[in-house]
Amino acid sequence: MYASRELSKELSLPLVRVTEAAALRAARTQGHGDKNGTDAAAVDAMRGMLDYIDIRGTVIIGEGEKDEAPMLYCGEQVGMMRPDSVEVDIAVDPVDGTTMTANGMGNALSVIAMGDRGSMMSIPCFYALKLACGPMLAGHLDLNASLTQNIRVAAARLDKSYADITVAVLNRPRHNEYIKELRSLGCRIKLIQDGDIAAAIATCDEDRGIDFYYGVGGAPEAVITAVAMKALEGDLQVKMWPTRQEEKDALAAAGLFEEKVYTAEDLAKGENLIFSATGVTDGELLRGVRFYGDRAKTESLLMRNQTKTVRRIEAVHNLKHKTLPSKSSNQEREI
């Protein structure tokens, strides 16, 4: 059974509850210096909450080998799994920014995307070169072109000088040449420590001041980002960036090519797609979890690609009455 428009509506709010649960649990670890503990808390809550949703879900993008997680691994079946439950693909990142959360830094999110069965690309590669931009630049930039060429196009399209163009780049040594090129052009650079999902989404909101995002980041996260970018009518282009021969072989076996540019539609096919993100720590996209004694507040972003609807949802959680499912212990537990 495949998701209809009506079922997509019915699944939207439950999906927010999934990212809220992961964010609430992860936020309790903020500043503890234990990134694995942060990830484990979010995974446990997210996995437990997914079993409350009436779906037959397959995790296409999950924790996997990179995080050595026992749950939310690629291929895992999640949901209520009833005979008439909706069959869906799921892509998750329980905390996009585990290091930031563990170190008490901002811009960490809990994110999940859902689509019809067969809609999401499985990527057997850790990294990808990515370019993301908002609606004004969508269809005009080219990942095969140089940064300088793309800056020239962006400046003309946005009627800006090079000095007014802002590019978000992950602060990594592998990007030193990109940063050098941007500085030589006089562009503004927003260096981000982690969380390129948020950076890509921010390009679709002119108030965030980012014209486009560029650089090598997580390949699996690109699938989640694609769902959001389609809803926002932005643009996402991706080229696989294998670092080991095993990845090259896995890409070839999957029929994927290093030299090919993949679009958001390649990564997440169709219109029946839902994206949810909840802030874990304070960021430019969403506020992090706030604890007030027996209450907690969360801020989430919910998008449905079919209608291009984008909702910001603020929830107040009464901690005297609220528990969250723990998959590892198979019981409800306090936040």
CATH of the domain at 235: 3.40.190.90
Q: Contact at 8 Å (CB) between 277 and 19?
A: yes
Residue 133 identity: C
How far is 222 from 129, CA to CA, in rounded Å? 10
Q: Are residues 238 and 315 in the same domain?
A: no
Q: Are residues 89 and 179 in the same domain?
A: no
Final residue before a domain boundary, out of 219, 239, 267: 267
Is pLDDT of 290 > 50?
Answer: yes
Q: Are residues 49 and 179 in the same domain?
A: no
Q: Are residues 285 and 228 in the same domain?
A: no
Q: Are residues 111 and 10 in the same domain?
A: yes
Q: Are residues 33 and 147 in the same domain?
A: no
Residue 291, pLDDT score: 97
Least confident of 1-5, 56-60, 62-66, 168-172: 1-5
With cut-offs at 50, 70 and 90, classify the pLDDT of residue 324: confident
Q: Contact at 8 Å (CB) between 283 and 208?
A: no
Nearest to 203 by CA among 177, 233, 160: 233
Residue 184: exposure state from Cβ atoms within 10 A (0-12, 13-18, ≥19): exposed
Q: Are residues 223 and 329 in the same domain?
A: no
Residue 51 identity: D
Final residue before a domain boundary, out of 267, 300, 318: 267
The upper half-sphere exposure of residue 204, i.e. CA atoms within 13 Å in the direction of its Cβ, equals 22
Q: Are residues 24 and 146 in the same domain?
A: no
Residue 2, pLDDT score: 45
Residue numbers of the domain that contains 149: 127-267
Number of domains within the chain: 2
Beta bridge partners of residue 77, listed in sequence order:
58
Q: Are residues 105 and 66 in the same domain?
A: yes
Q: Are residues 107 and 12 in the same domain?
A: yes
Q: Provide the percentage of residues in the chain whose pLDDT is more than 70.
A: 96
Mean pLDDT of 291-320: 96
Q: Are residues 84 and 190 in the same domain?
A: no
Q: Are residues 23 and 88 in the same domain?
A: yes
Return the percent helix, strand and coil in the chain, to nearest 5.
Answer: 35, 30, 35
Is pLDDT of 224 > 70?
Answer: yes
Final residue before a domain boundary, out of 248, 267, 286: 267
Residue 64, pLDDT score: 59
CATH number at residue 74: 3.30.540.10
Is pLDDT of 74 > 50?
Answer: yes
How far is 124 from 219, CA to CA, in rounded Å? 9
